[in-house]
Amino acid sequence: MLRYSQTSCTVSCTTEAPIKLKILWWNNILEDFKIRLKKLNRKIHHCCNPEELKELKNERIKTRKSYHNLMMDCKKRAWQEFISHDKPWGKPYKAMTKEMNRLNGYPTLKKADGTLTSDDYDACQFLLESKFPGDPTFCDNMQYAEEREEEAVFTPITEEEIANILKKTNNRSTPGIDKINYKTVKILNKKHPQILLNLYNNCLKWGVFP
């Protein structure tokens, strides 16, 4: 009975060591620095001589700085090697690029007549026509025509108003469904203030808010 129990446990339980993923920018020099820092930490922990302790701490600071600089150089070289190859290495990169390639371009959309969009331009045109339909003036009655003329007169927004509003926003606020945070909007307004100015004024002018 004991033998059967041991066999069942052996079959059902995984006894292999977990697979350790290889860090592609890691090398033997970094490993030596890591071991050296561990030895210095142990020496500092057990040292009782104040002068020797001071020397060990200074040596640890220098070693840690060299270790950090070397690590950053290795990461940069690995990144340069990564972007210079047509096929990225490793399963994470392959999964990421596969997902990015899958999401490139607009998805195929079904129109009201049952046909599908043929390309990105057709999909954009369909989205604009369906989500932001036009408002023809030929079917206006007198009352609606007068209301349209009154709404057409508006006070344009100024660059100063946009800048003052953006100053009150928090950069750490969670972005909405467009995934654009306030920090990005502030940079855009600082570099190209005319873009947001035209966008907001045209939204007020045409009564369309994307």
Contact (Cβ atoms closer than 8 angstroms) between residue 201 and residue 161: no
| Residue pLDDT, tens place only, 106-127 | 567 788 888 888 877 787 778 7
Q: Is residue 35 part of a domain?
A: yes
Q: Please tell me whether residues 93 and 164 are part of one structural domain.
A: no
| Residue pLDDT, tens place only, 148-193 | 666 656 788 899 999 999 999 998 888 887 788 888 889 888 888 8
Give the whole-angstrom CA distance, residue 178 versus residue 157: 23
Contact (Cβ atoms closer than 8 angstroms) between residue 142 and residue 134: no
Q: Please tell me whether residues 160 and 97 are part of one structural domain.
A: no
The pTM of this model reads 0.35
Contact (Cβ atoms closer than 8 angstroms) between residue 64 and residue 37: yes
Q: Does the pLDDT of residue 14 top 60, yes or no?
A: no
Angle in degrees, CA 85, 91, 96, rounded to 5: 75
| Residue with tokens 């467009």, as numbered in its chain | 178
Q: Is residue 98 part of a domain?
A: yes
The whole-number average pLDDT for the span 68-91 is 77
Give the whole-angstrom CA distance, residue 158 versus residue 193: 10
Q: Is residue 112 part of a domain?
A: no
Q: Is residue 76 part of a domain?
A: yes
Number of domains comprising the chain: 2
* Residue 75 domain boundaries: 24-103
Q: Is residue 160 part of a domain?
A: yes
Q: Is residue 133 part of a domain?
A: no
Q: Please tell me whether residues 99 and 159 are part of one structural domain.
A: no
Q: Is residue 13 part of a domain?
A: no
Q: Please tell me whether residues 96 and 160 are part of one structural domain.
A: no
What residues have CB less than 8 Å from 188, skipping those under 6 apart? Answer: 195, 196
Q: Is residue 162 part of a domain?
A: yes
